[in-house]
Amino acid sequence: MLSALLPVRSLLIAIFMMMAGSGFLATLISVRLERADVDALLIGLVGAAFLICAAMAVAGRTGPYLMLLGAAFGGVGFALYPLCVAHTNDRLVASERVGASGGLVLAYSLGAVAGPLGGSAAMALLGTAGLFLFIAACAFGMTVFGIWRQIAMPPVPASEQNAFQTLPRTTPMVGAFEPDDGESGVEAAAR
């Protein structure tokens, strides 16, 4: 009976290690953000996503290389959206950030709708490798656009960039449940 559970246990350990590796890589990328040109780092990450996905398409459906490539793709993927937000905010004045944030969320939402549709169409045409080839094609397009954008507009000088800030992954309304003026959470939320 224990031998029947061994493959499941090994798979769970592999998935955990892949997620831990992805999180570690994303943290390293965030730390690197403090000392790098955001434009160049963004182009490098998207280029890395292209190479990783192309390698995943060739790697096949199983094997240790696929797990390692998956961890690398997770680390790159986890860092892309925050890096894009940092890149956008470095080019804006404070009064433009709310509108830009709405635009970023809208662009992310459009990608969240179009990505699965395009990925499933690519898988229908090319099999399981189609998903990775679709993501690689998107990453290649983003890399080319990033290079063009860097040529068209010079990067923001490091002295004008804001420092990296970690933000909670929750709504700011949580602060209403912990008011400083002694009101209860219900009274503060009702205001």
What is the tally of structural domains in the chain? Answer: 1
Domain presence at residue 87: yes
What φ, ψ does residue 109 adopt, rounded to 5°?
A: -65, -40
Q: How many CB atoms lie within 10 A of CB 129?
A: 19
Cα separation, 24 vs 1, in Å, equals: 35
3-state secondary structure of 167: coil
For residues 123 and 57, is the Cβ–Cβ distance under 8 A?
Answer: no
Six token digits for residue 73: 């793709």
Element (H, E) at 117: helix 97-126
pLDDT in tens, 106-160: 988 999 999 999 999 999 999 989 999 999 999 999 999 989 988 888 766 666 6
Whole-structure pTM value: 0.69
Domain presence at residue 160: no
pLDDT of residue 160: 66
Domain membership of residue 148 as a residue range: 9-153
Six token digits for residue 59: 């790697």
Element (H, E) at 184: none
For residues 54 and 140, is the Cβ–Cβ distance under 8 A?
Answer: no
Domain presence at residue 79: yes
Domain presence at residue 3: no
Q: Please provide the distance, in angstroms rounded to a whole number, between the alpha carbons at the two ends of the chain.
A: 59
Cα separation, 76 vs 128, in Å, equals: 21
Domain presence at residue 2: no
pLDDT in tens, 17-65: 767 777 777 777 767 666 667 788 888 889 999 999 999 998 877 777 7
Domain presence at residue 141: yes
Domain presence at residue 98: yes
Domain presence at residue 163: no
For residues 38 and 86, is the Cβ–Cβ distance under 8 A?
Answer: yes
Q: Which residues does 181 contact at the CB level (< 8 Å), separation at least 6?
A: 188
